Amino acid sequence: MTRAISLHDVSKAYARGVRVVDRLSLDIAPGEFLVLLGPSGCGKSTVLRMIAGLEDIDEGQLFLDGEYGNDLPPSDRDMAMVFQNFALYPSMTSRDNIGFPLRIEAPGADPAPRVDATARMLGIEDLLDRFPAQLSGGERQRVAMGRAIARHPSAFLMDEPLSNLDAKLRNHLRAEISQLTRELGVTTVYVTHDQSEAMSLGDRVAVLRGGVLQQVGTPRTVYSLPSNVFVAAFIGTPRINLLRGLVRAPLDGAMTISLGKQFLRLPEPLSLDHQLLRVQQGREVIVGLRSEAVRIAKPAAARPGEVVLTGLVEHVEFQGHEVLVHFNTGSRPAVVPELEAPRPRPDRTPRRRRREGTVLERLRERTGALRAGTVATLDRPERAERPAPASAEPRVPGDLIVRTTPDIRLRHGMQVPLLVDLAHLFVFDQHGERICPNPERLPDLEE
């Protein structure tokens, strides 16, 4: 039996009234593998513990198979947790660790058949008589997973189970977890800060920041159509290129987005997405370009929808199967030092400065800041010019990273023509919300 889990406007606050989870609503279908993804301190583990009953829900409602579950004790929720630190009893063998919850549930029954079946499933039959101190990290995690699987729970709750393992073992166990949960068909909620895990494991990914749900969707959707600049930058390797742009839309000329020394000329006739950018005339925006949206080629090789930029090679990263080239295009990177901060910082602007605009406009501003956090305030240059805090991510060379094949030979200082595919252009407003592509007319990515 598997389980449907629903969270309706759930909130959790600790000391001083700081909300670590803020009005989160999420529906998890029976048998679904949902990943809670976000930076450290964003509230994802707290959400998992509230589902398990290990944390009280301050506000909102939890429904398990449609029944109210806020006050249901953990023992009655029929869920099994897999922890980051394995949580094995050091004085028990692997066999006893796996069979311990079975002996608690049914004291008179023999747990051996289910323990042996679980061990065969995980390929750890030869480890059953060893103690945790005699096991490697990967073997301990398999035993911890076996303890959860042997119970035949209605849901698995996994709290960063692979974060203490080395990269090679992590990749191997990731594939095992995916195969096991697919075979068992059990609802799984998986917490991680590793976007590679989230993209490879989840049926859907829920991205959190500061306790606020930013976006939920399939891995393909959150990568291809991020709802805001935080989701766009948090998901994807290398990180998306974020540049400050200025929209120019003269009535008697072509629409362009100025990037400083160069500009992107939008092809005519304008697509509906690009036509909607006219309302941003004269405003600064954030331009997002994935590394695969730009290619190195001569202007004569441009395809329909591609425009030309010129870049100066500043750094070349050889990855074996690909090369990441850092270019200086004279553009202005969108500096977002708070992008991966655990919580969006409150707006410190004095109230008297926020009197401009209508009440509705001020409300929209506050709502946008709540959803995406103050990642960039492009209409207030005095803020943008402040130096980044010491904890901010160090600047990488260049302002544009392009993914290319290893057979291209480039050296530092070369001036190279670049072709930008405007079909993969993202534009975000001053609050970091996506305005292009238009969210009202997205293609069905499941087709």
What pLDDT was estimated at residue 353? 44
Instruction: For domain 5-224, give the fold.
Output: Rossmann fold (3.40.50)
pLDDT tens, position by position, 252-275: 788 899 998 899 998 888 887 888
- Rounded Cα distance between 338 and 388, Å, is 9
Neighbouring-strand partners of residue 306: 421
User: Which one, of 256, 284, 281, lies nearest residue 268 by Cα?
Assistant: 256
φ, ψ for residue 353, nearest 5 deg: -85, -10
- Rounded Cα distance between 362 and 357, Å, is 7
Burial degree of 72 (CB within 10 A; 0-12, 13-18, 19+)? middle
From the first residue on, what is the mean pLDDT of each consecutive set of 10 residues in the chain (447 residues)? 90 86 95 94 93 94 94 92 88 93 87 91 91 90 90 92 83 87 92 92 94 94 92 91 91 86 88 82 91 93 92 92 93 70 48 49 46 43 40 61 91 92 91 79 45
pLDDT tens, position by position, 184-201: 899 999 999 999 999 999
- Given 3-state DSSP classes, what are the helix, strand and coil percentages for the chain, each rounded to the nearest 5? 30, 30, 40
- Rounded Cα distance between 165 and 51, Å, is 26
What pLDDT was estimated at residue 371? 42
Decide if 313 contacts 225 (C-beta within 8 A): no
Decide if 368 contacts 360 (C-beta within 8 A): no
**In the chain, where the domains are located:** 5-224, 229-384+395-441
Decide if 180 contacts 148 (C-beta within 8 A): no
Q: Which residue has the tokens 């660790």?
A: 97
Residue type, 367: T
What pLDDT was estimated at residue 337? 54
- Rounded Cα distance between 226 and 61, Å, is 28
- Rounded Cα distance between 221 and 150, Å, is 34
What pLDDT was estimated at residue 338? 53
Q: How many CB atoms lie under 10 A from the CB of residue 256?
A: 18
- Rounded Cα distance between 332 and 311, Å, is 13
What pLDDT was estimated at residue 373? 45
- Rounded Cα distance between 225 and 231, Å, is 9
